[in-house]
């Protein structure tokens, strides 16, 4: 059976991925996500936001699927410029991370019930 993308699920995942990006970049107060995210999942985002230094964060890819009615599972890939000083004569390193999340529709709204942030361990100097 060939996978057929679900445009509505993809749009929802892109919107949520943008909200995460804005919160991590500090351009959206993380508290604005309280209405759409479980408190323990929001704390993951807040703890990264507090560290700061996510310069030039951008979402590079979003993949979404609807495994069941009322559920969207997705992964969003991000890149950002590392705050670490570049090597002599070099460019600032880029880092990558991904956010896997599940959105469930209940009580008339979508809510993030699962969220996992997967960070790269080393800067990507080839980018």
- Dihedral Cα 57, 10, 62, 30, nearest 10 deg: 30
CA gap 72, 46 in Å, rounded: 23
**pTM of the full structure:** 0.82
Could you say which of 3.20.10.10, 3.20.20.140, 1.20.1250.20, 3.10.450.50 is the CATH number of the domain covering 7-119?
3.10.450.50
Digit-coded pLDDT (tens) for 68-125: 999 999 999 999 887 777 778 878 778 889 999 999 999 999 999 999 988 765 544 4
CA gap 15, 57 in Å, rounded: 16
DSSP 64-124: EEEEETTEEEEEEEEEEE-SSPPPTT-PPPEEEEEEEEEEEEETTEEEEEEEEEEE-SS-B
- Please give the average per-residue pLDDT across 2-14, as a whole number: 82
State the pLDDT at residue 82.
73
Give the start-to-end residue ranges of the domains of the chain. 7-119
- Please give the average per-residue pLDDT across 15-27, as a whole number: 92
Burial label, 72 (beta-carbon count in 10 A; 0-12, 13-18, 19+): buried
């Amino acid at each position: 059976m060939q996978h057929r993308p679900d445009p509505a699920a993809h749009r929802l995942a892109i919107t949520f991925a943008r909200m995460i990006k804005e919160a991590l970049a500090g351009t959206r107060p993380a508290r604005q996500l309280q209405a759409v995210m479980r408190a323990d999942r929001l704390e993951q985002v807040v703890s990264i936001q507090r560290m700061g230094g996510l310069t030039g964060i951008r979402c590079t890819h979003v993949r979404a699927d609807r495994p069941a009615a009322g559920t969207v599972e997705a992964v969003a890939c991000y890149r950002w410029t590392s705050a670490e000083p570049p090597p002599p004569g070099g460019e600032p390193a880029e880092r990558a991370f991904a956010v896997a999340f599940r959105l469930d529709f209940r009580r008339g709204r979508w809510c993030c019930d699962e969220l996992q942030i997967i960070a790269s361990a080393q800067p990507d100097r080839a980018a």
